[in-house]
Structure 1
């Protein structure tokens, strides 16, 4: 019997403007790929993702590693890139609301400590039952212990969890643990999966 629908936020419920990175880099005279190179270098990104440093400290580090004339301009570029919070897919949200009539809906996402602020700005705070970030858990997906900690926090066995993610690697990890999982490819398939889950809830 399923008790929780566990969802990745990004690529399932939240989507980003695909033109944003290119637009910011063009606006600030940065070469293509400069923002991602500065932000996602493992030695810089991993501590933010697992909560060792906070989001603001990470942003400052990114700004100081951009090849711009002064740090204030670099900070402005980082803010223009990281400031937006994306958009919620209203059709996916409708399915989430349906699921909540029967099971708890919990987000499990790789995110810095800005997650709660993002959820408030997206209007999702009252649309879910709980949210867990990698920064809170101290581990990031696809580490299998992320799922163990999520289950423990909710007092669940893996067999009581249904999981949705857009990442095939994360889905594979969950399935190895015995969690019924669905790789998100579109709202219609997601709705079908949720309908099946609710039958067994």
Structure 2
């Protein structure tokens, strides 16, 4: 049985709409004499990351814990704090092709939501990136209290979009998020780059 055509689009932020140049973190690590990849490795340790993604700690508290862990490894708290602060000043870059596509979709009357595992600085990031007015809804895990791929996260997203799960098309670059969305009843497309825009346009174009 064919699925219902999507009438709402839910799109991930990092890895789809926003990209981070890995050279920035590498440059900070090199400048402060840190091992390659250590900033991201410490920050994304699940026991440290999951609380900030579900709103139990703030972004500032998360970064403080990263600096503390880094200081333990380098033996220099001031160097660790300064390195983390410099790393965090870079907030990524918008993919212009994806943004143009989202504007195109909204212009047809399809609701577009941002569905992201994020912290309490998301609104500031969206403003800094010029994205504050680009979505009908923003579904931030740290506000919802659940992170992707939890079913509760996707239920909250569909409620925010005022659209039944079967009518929501979700786009993410992570397999685990795609699986979670499908378990929750959404259509889901695994993003691997702008070549996927052709498929998404077709999926959102009314038949006939």
TM-score by length of structure 2 reads 0.89
Aligned equivalent of 2:172, options 165, 168, 180: 165
The number of equivalent residue pairs is 200
In structure 1, the residue matched to 2:68 is: 64
Long gaps (5+) in structure 1: none
In structure 2, the residue matched to 1:111 is: 118
Give the whole-Å Cα distance in 2 for the aligned partners of 1:110 and 1:12.
13
Which secondary structure state, in structure 2, belongs to the residue aligned with residue 47 of structure 1? helix
- What is the CA deviation profile of residues 28-71 of structure 1, one whole-angstrom value per residue up to 9, with x for unaligned ones? 11122321332122222111111100001111111111134443
Deviates more, 1:113-122 or 1:67-76: 67-76
Long gaps (5+) in structure 2: none
RMSD: 1.6
Is the counterpart of residue 184 in structure 1 residue 191 in structure 2?
yes
In structure 2, the residue matched to 1:84 is: 90
Give the whole-Å Cα distance in 2 for the aligned partners of 1:190 and 1:173.
22
Deviation at 1:131, TM superposition (A): 1.1
Is the counterpart of residue 18 in structure 1 residue 25 in structure 2?
no
Give the whole-Å Cα distance in 2 for the aligned partners of 1:43 and 1:159.
33
Give the whole-Å Cα distance in 1 for the aligned partners of 2:45 and 2:194.
32
In structure 2, the residue matched to 1:74 is: 80
Is the counterpart of residue 144 in structure 1 residue 148 in structure 2?
no
In structure 1, the residue matched to 2:13 is: 9
Native 8 Å contact 1:99 1:198 kept in 2: no
Native 8 Å contact 1:103 1:198 kept in 2: no
In structure 2, the residue matched to 1:96 is: 102
In structure 1, the residue matched to 2:38 is: 34
Give the whole-Å Cα distance in 1 for the aligned partners of 2:85 and 2:136.
30
Which secondary structure state, in structure 1, belongs to the residue aligned with residue 22 of structure 2? coil
Which secondary structure state, in structure 1, belongs to the residue aligned with residue 189 of structure 2? strand
Native 8 Å contact 2:155 2:184 kept in 1: no
Native 8 Å contact 2:111 2:161 kept in 1: no
Deviation at 1:73, TM superposition (A): 2.2
- What is the CA deviation profile of residues 66-97 of structure 1, one whole-angstrom value per residue up to 9, with x for unaligned ones? 13444332121112222211111111111111
* CA shift in 2, pair 1:191/1:126, >3 Å: farther
